[in-house]
């Protein structure tokens, strides 16, 4: 892009995005010109000691019902709405521009144009998939099946195998080939076996859905039903050898390093040839997460009729691309995955779904434009200082632990000091110059994006680890801790509070909203039940004394028991073991950021704002971060598939363990959140 065009684009972005992130810069100022954000959200008909989540957010929940097109609605969704609106105009302008071939603007514009051209998508029907569907129809031998699986993998079709390149958990300086369980059409293995009425109905609806999709591919009703039955039988066998959600969180049990030759012996398959078909000719070792799954996969490739594999591969191909194809396929895909599984009443606007797909395809392209105007260096510096303050508080917490020995404390302090914070956006951006985007078809552009990401990921094998890389874009309302890099990654958008300007954001809100629920939370992940098994260099290695580990596990068991006791829907309870890491991180983030907040002038002055003390505002600021609600269907799905507890329990659960919360809101015995001292969990 030439300089004049670039300058014009920045002016356009400035006009579009306005002051989106300017409102996220914290200060201790207040204003009488608008109601206090925390105060107006309160539902004072609810006692804080009975249900603090609803007390803090109840009025907001009443005023923000879940839109028909959504399965949930939250503060994060409102941030996303602001991002959507601005990115929409950026894409529309790009599509109308006569941009230079290969430029960022050309790729954004062409992706948008094909995505929004529903008429062309309807006209093309399944034509974009026809070459692969023809190949599947021509399969004759197990080797043919393996070859087709290899062809589909770069297209984003995870049929049978989950293959990727990532850091070796025991040698974080090395990128390693990894294999994980995959190949299911339902969210996870429990959906194939749980006998409760809700899940059993989903299985029935899934069979109907797969049948209808085969009919849309051109099969008659009898053949389609038979094809669906073959898919269900094959997937159920694979699910039987898949591990449960909580079992996938054990890093040692899911680390099984072996040579490719040994993998071949265990599975009875020629993996060397198979991997070569997937452009992995140099691979000699592989880390297998779940060896029993691949033993079953090897048996199935030898014993399952070719016709069943044809049905399975046809299904997974069309399932991967249904929402990029004609309306009948898109609508049927939404009916099951949107309405049946997630409770959505209607399809989301097409333009939003195109932006989601664009985010997956080349989100960092948009990210570069996003932060140029809306996460200035001064803003980045402000949140980096907040990170420093929370880290300092965590250091003090470790030093004061009464259950950990000095030798383990010193190692914990070393690990904490080595955590790399990444704030706002990457220092180095991904190069998408090799990604071809044109106006041939929406599905073709999505296919090329999948192929680009596949080659990008495989290209890491045998190369030095790039510790500057980000796995999220700056415009993502989320954050993460990476144990292999020992880093916390905090995208710019995670600091946004819709409708809150700089002068309204006092430190209490910022320390609760960003310091506790994001920064402190991610730091604590380095010391939760899973992250604590990695050392300061990001290697899976025990750095604990035997007794300290035992004492730590006793505290983990306490939070597991606590969350196992929460019933959320029908007979569904929280899986305390599967959610332990997130629950530990929530609790750790709250107590660590609170002590960091206590060093601010706002806390020391003790003055009330909108009738709320600094400490009360801190807890309400944290609850603000989980402001949201969801439909029963998606709640049921998340209980089975998500390692995070529902939003209300991410507030009520950890708060019930924090003595300062009891003091701030005068929580008394007999109220629902009250727990005796002996039952309150304290870890970090």
Over the chain, what is the mean pLDDT? 93
Helix (H, G, I), strand (E, B) or coil at 486: coil
Query: What's the confidence (pLDDT) of residue 376?
Result: 75
In angstroms, the CA 99 to CA 119 distance is: 24
Query: What's the confidence (pLDDT) of residue 502?
Result: 54
Query: What's the confidence (pLDDT) of residue 570?
Result: 86
Whether 580 contacts 528, CB under 8 Å:
yes
Query: What's the confidence (pLDDT) of residue 368?
Result: 85
Helix (H, G, I), strand (E, B) or coil at 327: helix
Whether 447 contacts 152, CB under 8 Å:
no
In angstroms, the CA 168 to CA 173 distance is: 8
Q: What is the pTM of this model?
A: 0.93
For residue 167, what are the β-bridge partners?
A: 175
Question: Which tens digit of pLDDT belongs to each residue from 393-412?
Answer: 999 999 999 999 999 999 99
In angstroms, the CA 287 to CA 254 distance is: 9
Query: What's the confidence (pLDDT) of residue 354?
Result: 98
User: Using alpha carbons only, what angle is made at residue 409 by residues 404 and 413, rounded to the nearest 5 degrees?
Assistant: 145
Could you tell me the residue ranges of all domains in the chain?
Answer: 15-82+375-431+464-679, 127-324
Other Cβ atoms less than 10 A from the Cβ of 244: the count is 14
- How far CA 427 is from CA of 366, 422, 423, in Å, comes to 15, 9, 10
Question: Which tens digit of pLDDT belongs to each residue from 411-468?
Answer: 999 999 999 999 999 999 999 999 999 999 999 999 999 999 999 999 999 899 999 9
Question: Which tens digit of pLDDT belongs to each residue from 373-394?
Answer: 677 787 788 899 999 999 999 9
Query: What's the confidence (pLDDT) of residue 408?
Result: 98
As a residue count, the chain comes to: 684
Q: Which ranges of the chain have pLDDT less than 70?
A: 1-33, 373, 501-503
Query: What's the confidence (pLDDT) of residue 13?
Result: 33
Q: Which residues contact 233 (CB under 8 A, 6 or more apart)?
A: 308
Q: What percent of the chain has pLDDT over 90?
A: 89
Which of 629, 568, 624 lies closest to 72 in space, CA to CA?
629
Return the sign of the alpha-carbon dihedral for residues 644, 649, 650, 656: negative
Query: What's the confidence (pLDDT) of residue 500?
Result: 82
Q: Considering only the top CATH level, what class is 15-82+375-431+464-679?
A: alpha beta
CATH 1.10.1380.10 assigned to 127-324: yes
Helix (H, G, I), strand (E, B) or coil at 173: strand
Question: Which tens digit of pLDDT belongs to each residue from 129-179?
Answer: 999 999 999 999 999 999 999 999 999 999 999 999 999 999 999 999 999
Query: What's the confidence (pLDDT) of residue 34?
Result: 78
DSSP state of 351: H
DSSP string, 553-586: HHHHHHHHHHHHT-EEETTEE--TTTTHHHHHHH
Helix (H, G, I), strand (E, B) or coil at 280: coil
Tokens describing residue 314? 């046809």
């Amino acid at each position: 892009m030439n300089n004049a065009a670039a300058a014009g684009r920045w002016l356009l972005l400035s006009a579009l995005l306005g002051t989106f992130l300017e409102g996220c810069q914290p200060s201790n100022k207040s204003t009488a010109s608008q109601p206090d954000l925390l105060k107006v959200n309160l539902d004072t008909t609810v006692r804080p000691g009975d249900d603090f989540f609803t007390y803090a957010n109840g009025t907001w929940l009443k005023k923000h019902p879940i839109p028909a097109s959504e399965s949930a609605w939250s503060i994060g969704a409102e941030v996303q709405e602001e991002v959507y609106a601005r990115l929409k105009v950026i894409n529309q302008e790009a599509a109308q521009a006569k941009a230079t071939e290969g430029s960022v603007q050309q790729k954004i514009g062409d992706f948008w144009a094909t995505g929004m051209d529903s008429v062309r998508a309807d006209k093309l029907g399944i034509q974009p998939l026809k070459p692969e569907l023809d190949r599947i129809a021509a399969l004759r031998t197990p080797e043919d099946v393996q070859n087709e699986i290899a062809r589909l993998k770069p297209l984003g079709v995870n049929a049978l195998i989950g293959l990727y390149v990532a850091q070796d958990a025991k040698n974080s300086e090395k990128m390693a080939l990894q294999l994980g369980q995959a190949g299911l059409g339902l969210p996870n293995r429990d959906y194939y076996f749980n006998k409760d009425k809700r899940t059993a109905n989903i299985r029935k609806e899934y069979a109907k859905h797969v049948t209808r999709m085969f009919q849309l591919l051109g099969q008659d009703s009898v053949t389609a039903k038979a094809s669906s039955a073959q898919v269900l039988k094959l997937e159920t066998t694979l699910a039987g050898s898949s591990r449960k959600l909580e079992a996938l969180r054990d890093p040692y049990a899911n680390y099984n390093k072996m040579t490719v030759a040994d993998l071949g012996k265990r599975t009875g398959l020629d993996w060397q040839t198979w991997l070569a078909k997937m452009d992995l000719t140099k691979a000699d070792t592989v880390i297998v997460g779940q060896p029993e799954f691949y033993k079953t996969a090897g048996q199935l490739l030898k014993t399952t009729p070719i016709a069943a594999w044809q049905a399975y591969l046809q299904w997974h191909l069309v399932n991967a691309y249904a929402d990029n194809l004609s309306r009948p396929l898109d609508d049927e895909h939404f009916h099951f995955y949107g309405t049946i599984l997630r409770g959505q009443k209607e399809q989301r606007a097409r333009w939003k779904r195109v932006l989601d797909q664009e985010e997956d395809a080349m989100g960092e392209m948009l990210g570069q434009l996003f932060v140029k105007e809306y996460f200035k260096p001064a803003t980045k510096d402000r949140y980096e200082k907040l990170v420093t303050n929370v880290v300092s508080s965590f250091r003090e917490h470790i030093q004061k632990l009464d259950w950990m020995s000095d030798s383990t404390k010193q190692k914990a302090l070393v690990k904490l000091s080595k955590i790399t914070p990444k704030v706002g956006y990457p220092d180095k951006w991904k190069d998408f110059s090799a990604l071809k985007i044109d106006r041939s078809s929406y599905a073709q552009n999505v296919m090329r994006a999948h192929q680009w990401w596949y080659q990008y990921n495989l290209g890491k094998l045998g190369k030095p680890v790039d510790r500057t890389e980000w796995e999220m874009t700056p415009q993502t309302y989320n954050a993460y801790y990476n144990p292999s890099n020992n880093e916390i990654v905090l995208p710019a958008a995670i600091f946004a509070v819709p409708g809150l300007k700089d002068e309204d954001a006092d430190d209490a809100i910022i320390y609760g909203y960003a310091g506790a629920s994001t920064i402190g939370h991610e730091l604590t992940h380095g010391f939760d039940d899973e992250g604590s098994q990695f050392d300061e260099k990001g290697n899976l290695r025990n750095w604990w004394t035997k007794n300290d580990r035992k004492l730590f596990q006793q505290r983990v068991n306490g939070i597991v028991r606590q969350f196992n006791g929460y019933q959320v829907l029908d007979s569904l309870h929280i899986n305390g073991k599967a959610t332990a890491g997130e629950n530990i991180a929530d609790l750790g983030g709250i107590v660590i950021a609170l002590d960091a907040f206590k060093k601010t002038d706002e806390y020391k002055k003790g003055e009330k704002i909108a009738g709320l003390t600094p400490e009360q505002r801190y807890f309400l600021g944290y609850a603000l971060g989980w402001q949201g609600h969801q439909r029963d269907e998606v709640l049921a799905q998340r209980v089975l598939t998500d390692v995070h507890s529902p939003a209300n329990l991410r507030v009520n659960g950890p708060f019930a363990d924090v003595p300062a919360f009891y003091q701030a809101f005068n929580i008394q015995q007999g109220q629902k959140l009250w727990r005796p001292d002996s039952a309150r969990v304290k870890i970090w």
